[in-house]
């Protein structure tokens, strides 16, 4: 698929910090499926980890969900035995480092569900044709009018809807 051929769907919403569950339920939960890749972007403290935790909890993870900042990633298992990987790539400096750390095996397993915070370092990989119909880009930003609210923008290829079924 050529870059110009890719049609993208985009939706944005403003939510309060106490309203994360509703936002996840409405915007992200319908996109959750085997092989899905969620790339979460935003400034430090914008709420990527809070959103990730709410998301995984709603998908059935009963474990204590913690930030992977210092461990790079944590693996969780859904009641269905489906593996879910939550990555924080803030300290990964390059694609080479990502591969050196052994993460490519997880990335290229199309059965895994993955959430990547700070995905910029592997964005070229996520833009490869094999990922185009699997990646959901989620940007979390501060609402300039209210510091206790966030603006979430979700983008994914139209093809994602078709491939998911």
3-class DSSP string for the chain: CCHHHCCEEEEEEEEEHHHHHHHHHHHHHHHCCCCCEEEEECCCCCCHHHHHHHHHHHCCCCCCCCCCCCCCEEEEECCCCCEEEEEECCCCCCHHHHHHCCCHHHHCCCCCEEEEECHHHHHHHHCCCCCCCCEEEEEEEEECCEEEEEEEEEEEEHHHHHHHC
For residue 87, give the nearest of 43, 132, 41 by alpha carbon.
Answer: 41
Query: What does residue 55 show for φ and ψ, rounded to 5 degrees?
Result: -60, -50
**Fold exhibited by the domain 3-164:** Rossmann fold (3.40.50)
Residue 3 has pLDDT above 50, yes or no: no
> What's the chain's average pLDDT?
87
Q: Look at residue 34 in the predicted model and tell me its pLDDT.
A: 87
Residue-level pLDDT at 41 = 96
Confidence category of residue 5, pLDDT binned at 50, 70, 90: very low
| Nearest Cα to Cα of residue 139 among 153, 127, 150, 119 | 153
- Residue with tokens 């185009």, as numbered in its chain: 132
* pLDDT tens figures, 19-50: 888 888 888 888 888 889 999 999 998 889 98
């Amino acid at each position: 698929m050529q870059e110009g051929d890719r049609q993208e769907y985009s939706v944005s919403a403003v939510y309060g910090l106490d309203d994360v569950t509703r936002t996840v339920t409405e915007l992200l939960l319908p996109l959750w499926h085997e092989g899905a890749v969620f790339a979460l972007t935003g400034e430090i403290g914008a709420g990527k980890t809070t959103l990730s935790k709410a998301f995984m909890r709603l998908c059935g993870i009963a474990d204590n969900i913690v930030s992977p900042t210092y461990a790079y990633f944590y693996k969780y298992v859904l009641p269905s035995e489906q593996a879910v990987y939550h990555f924080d790539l803030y300290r990964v400096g390059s694609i080479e480092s990502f591969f050196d750390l052994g993460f490519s095996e997880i990335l290229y397993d199309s059965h895994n569900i993955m959430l990547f915070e700070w995905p910029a370092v592997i964005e070229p990989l996520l833009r490869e044709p094999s990922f185009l119909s699997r990646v959901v880009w989620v940007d979390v930003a501060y609402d300039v009018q209210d510091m206790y609210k966030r603006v979430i923008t979700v983008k994914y290829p139209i093809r994602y809807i078709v491939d998911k079924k």
